[in-house]
Structure 1
């Protein structure tokens, strides 16, 4: 049994990047023998024998040797390994591509064998924004999509790549590469028509819905939940009747259903599904918060307080509208939370809810009434 460090930890060392995870490949053994040597290892793989041990991932390879294993990987920059003596093994192109900052596939067959590599490649494009995407990579991604095998990937694996990409420095690059290689269907089919849809009427918007979504996502880079909200906030515009373009009346509500549909399809955590729906529903009002009536403000703040997404929605709004009403909204939130329901109106169901809403509206409007 031979153990090798592989992939990202080796690559990032040569790129002088911080190393967050260390993965291992195990060659020359089976699961029974591996567990005999590492009884505390916990299985996590379904199709492959993959284990977690001390926070690190160990994959049992069927390859005869490490060279054969490296030949089965996705990108040349990831086809690196190190044994316990510190010896480095690599694909012939690995170090040249690391030096020249090129994303290049190891070979076509590997993408056909595991089409998730289409999404992994797009994720690496977002993680390494200064790397050039080779023609070989775009060509293989297109061929993989054309074979109609992207639908064979398990939802959880695609969802995991989406979230990793949305945590990257330039998340829009993930979508850009999927767009350019016709790799959106079936997982992100709702945004296929984004390039043909105007983001909105001038002077508020000048480009397409796709360009606008890219910009919002990149302004929110660094927080994958916020980037996901940026991705979801204008989904409803994809359903706008062509007759009313470039306007998008009511897209906030229609987008809620789409955000939920995509989140569930990708098996994303419930917190992300809720955040996507909330982003669609409230982003417009957050962007015009200063002009809202007290009742609308109270309803909005109450809803965001319940969803625990108050600050996130206003950060999204600032990235979307370039209007930042967070300070004003925070003051209103502090005001309504101080309002107490009089004893005589408690435990009266809808009447209690109506009264507390009335009192909160009066409080933020400066009314002296009770």
Structure 2
């Protein structure tokens, strides 16, 4: 089958031909990541188009004009099965205008356009780079036009793409600190979260360090490499950075949730608070990590839930790794804290990645079950509770819960 015919028969192009009239179709091009994903055989979350249709026609089709403060205006509509449809207007949809628009994009694999008959427009040989999984900037000005593209490159590297030498050259030969300063941290954090979902999320952090990018957004990362993870007999890997990378790799091998991977990398954040005179030991780092976790998440403008989860993991993971040495009462308290923080699955996942030679405690499920039992399920009647002094009731209930847990 002719390649153009195969693309024309693809579900996205068929759907676009149904959405737009025959008269409108020659004035539209599918572009950017939408074309990249189509060529890779992946479904795209959004649909990006170029057009020279007049605004009035786009309004008739149900699109609304969105004027960004720092971005070019687009026409927007949310419509299943396309998701968000974003249409960028051009004065003319001729070869020169389209080529110029594609050349202003970040990477050649995104500098692709496709008309609705399946004809590919590829002035920068992006399809060849796509086949080689090579990330090559569209021009010498790609990163200076938007320095955040540097982090997009790191994210693609974490997904297994090879960085073209021009990416490394641009990252090394310029000091990007000043150019990155005006960019909102939320844009960096979006790239970070996407990188955490890739097959090799640790590469994002390591490349940040290698190219000295983003220190003002994530200064904690630069301290990780200067602090020992712990005494050499416990942490032969050496630095806190190497330990964090190992734990992240282990977690990423079994769990795909970006939040879980974030907690894996930063689970020992509290060790940054250890006085230099106490190193290599980190007494009390689990408690110090609580405030540092909330601070980090606020600093990166991540969801509040991420701060709650990381704070709980920072505080509890060391105790979980000492489960065999904990008393029954301490095990119940740990289960109660995990339930309260909603990390009952996350906590053992991080702890086992932190201590890979251990196994999930056999009585962890029972501890969770016991910590959630109601008074009725514990066999405590209202009369029995009333017989206890008000100040002693909580302690008495805890004793009944402990008895239930230990009776087997």
Q: TM-score range by the shorter chain?
A: 0.7 to 0.9
Out of 220, 236, 242, the position equivalent to 2:276 is: 242
Mapped partners of 1:111, 1:12: distance in 2: 22
Find the aligned partners of 1:226 and 1:172 in 2 and give their Cα distance: 13
The aligned residue for residue 205 of structure 2 is: 175
Going from structure 1 to structure 2, the CA distance change for 1:253 and 1:33 (only over 3 Å counts) comes to farther
Q: How does 1:202-281 map to 2 (within 5 A)?
A: 202-207=232-237, 208-221=239-252, 222-281=256-315
Count of residue pairs brought into register by the alignment:
363
What is the TM-score when the length of structure 1 is the normalising length?
0.87
> Displacement of 1:313 after TM fit?
0.8
What is the match of residue 61 of structure 2?
38
Larger Rg: 2
- 3-state SS of paired residue (2:113): strand
Q: Which runs of 5+ in 1 are unaligned?
A: none
Q: 1:358, 1:63 → 2: CA distance?
A: 76
- Any residues of structure 2 matched to 1:93-112 within 5 Å, and which? 93-112=125-144
Q: How far apart, CA to CA, are the structure 1 residues paired with 2:86 and 2:218?
A: 31
Cα separation, partners in 2 of 1:249 and 1:113, compared to 1, 3 Å: same
**TM-score, structure 2 as length reference:** 0.80
The whole-number CA distance in structure 2 between the counterparts of 1:227 and 1:81 is 35
Cα-to-partner distance string for 1:35-54 (whole Å, 9 max, x where unaligned): 51432558595533343422
The aligned counterpart of 2:403 is 362
Q: Which runs of 5+ in 2 are unaligned?
A: 1-23
Greater shift, 265-274 or 34-43, is seen at 34-43
Alignment partner of 1:25: what SS?
A: strand
**1:270/1:101 Cα in 2 relative to 1: closer, same or farther (>3 Å)?**
same
What SS does structure 2 have at the residue aligned with 1:246?
Answer: coil
Q: Distance in 2 between matches of 1:5 and 1:350?
A: 69
SS at match of 1:115: coil
1:4 is paired with a residue whose SS is: strand
RMSD across aligned positions (CA): 2.8
The one-character-per-residue Cα deviations of 1:262-296 (angstroms, maximum 9, x if unpaired) are 21122212222211111211111122222212232
Is contact 2:177–2:214 with CA below 8 Å preserved after alignment?
A: no
2:86 and 2:274 mapped to 1: Cα distance?
48
Equivalent position to 2:227, from 193, 197, 205: 197
**Structure 1 residue 332, shift from structure 2 partner:** 1.5
For residue 183 of structure 1, report the CA deviation from its aligned partner.
0.8
